Every structure is written in C-alpha cells, then in structure tokens.
Amino acid sequence: MIVAGVILVILVASVLFHLFTPWWMTPIAADWSTIDHTLRLTFWVTGAAFVAVIAFLGWCVYRYRHSETRRAHYEPESGKLETYLGIATTIGVVFLLAPGLVVWNSYIHPPADAAEVEIVGQQWNWFYRLPAEGGKLGRADARFVTAENPLGVNPYDPNSKGNLIVNGGDLHLRVNKPVKILLRSIDVIHNFYIPEFRAKMDMLPGSESFFWVTPTRTGTFEILCAAYCGTGHPFMRGTLVVESDADYEKWIAQQQKFTAMNEQKRGFAALPATGQEK
C-alpha cells in the first residue's frame, strides 16, 4: 500500500509540475509556432503514455499485493494484449512523427524574399559571411582555404567581392525579416544552435545545410555549438543580435569586405590557376 501510494504521489506531482511549470511558455525570438505546437503535441502524447504506464504500475502493485491465499498465474504470452499494444504504439508513433515531417518541410523551404547569411564553423570559432546590399553570396570551396582566406571563398567569383566577413564577432540580423541561414564546416562536425529560436542544424565538412527563421523580437541571444567538436567545444560560443533596420545598417557599415580584407593580407597574390577563374 505504501509503494502504491508513493507511485500515485509521483504521478500527480509530475503532471502538476508539467502543467504549472514557469518554463512551459517561455517566449522565443523567432516565429516557429509550428515547432512549439509539435513540442506540445509530443508532450501530450508522451504524457498520456506516462500517466497510463505509471497508473497501471500503481494499480498492479495494489491489486496484486502479497497474500497468503493468492497464487501467481503464469501466462508467458498473450496475443490479444500484444495486438492492443502494437496498435496503440503505432498510433502514438504516427502522432509523434507525422507533425515533425510537416515542420521539417517548412523549416527547409525559406520564402522567396529571405536574405542569406552564411555561418562557418571551425574549431573553435564562428565565422559569418553576408552579401552586400542587393548582392549575392559568392561560391566557396575547400581548395581556397588558406590562413588568409579561412572560409574558402572563391576569389574569382564576382559575387564574392562585395561579401562581408565577420570573424568571431557578433552576428546581427534585422527584426521581422526572414533569413536563410547557410551552414558549412571547415574541419569537423559542428552544430549551429540558437536555443531561444528553437533552431539548430548539423554542419558537416564538405556539404552545406540550411534552414530559415524570422526573428520577431529584438535582443541578444547566445549561439552555441551543439555537437562535440573537440577539447575547445564548450568555448565555441557566439552572440546573435536582433535589431532594427537603422541599427543593422550602422553595423553593416562597419564590416569589412572580402576583397578589402584580402588586399590587406595579400592573400591572393600567389594563388595558382585552378580553372575557377572563368
């Protein structure tokens, strides 16, 4: 009886904590309402399963408690029970996975007017590359990675000349403007993660991944690497600043262009021909 009572108390306390926790409706910085709806659905589905399993456990402890006159019934198999459990589990899995596929489809299809920002991870630092006003991001290739050109930006691509390079500083975005975030890694697997945005994505060497967000609240948010990438992994942090158009333009005016940066470093004076010049 005591064990059954303890199980009941744990069940009730867990449900109440979940319903009244102050972290349940934490405000976020991006408009990913579909992600929040999916998280809530996941909580309800898994919560219902939790309540059913724990309640059944408590009932079994009480119903089949020890008695001198009771003998255990041995039934190693039950086709009916297995069928019911299989159907219930299948329904639960469908409710958990199907909404995630819908959210993922939206997560990787940015609107046509989304701006582009490239995030490059390298042990243990973040680099950011932005196009100039009205421009495009130039191509990048690992063959162009040097000490002077750590991002591997193609210096022969006309679109690269106006690109803005931010090395380890803050990343700034406009509020209420959709942005497509392109992700690359120079060395090992990293993961670009902004907790308040409900946004994260792996960064794999040799490939490019992406997602999009629309910041809806000004403020400062932490950027983390969510994939263990070596001894300096805990220190691979950055800062995202969401601000008004006027403040964003002031920040953009202070950033250095790719061509100006490499002219100072004389990084491409001795670059060999690679066939990428055309």
Nearest-angstrom CA–CA distance, 16 and 8: 12
- What pLDDT is recorded for position 241? 92
For 144-166, the pLDDT digits (tens) are 877 778 788 888 888 887 788 88
- What pLDDT is recorded for position 228? 92
Number of residues in the chain? 278
Residue ranges in the chain whose pLDDT is less than 50: 267-273, 277-278
- What pLDDT is recorded for position 270? 43
Angle between helices 79-107 and 33-63 (to 10 degrees): 160
- With contact defined as beta carbons under 8 Å apart, do 5 and 59 qualify? no
Closest by CA position to 103, among listed 45, 43, 32, 46: 32
Q: Which CATH topology does 115-265 take?
A: Immunoglobulin-like (2.60.40)
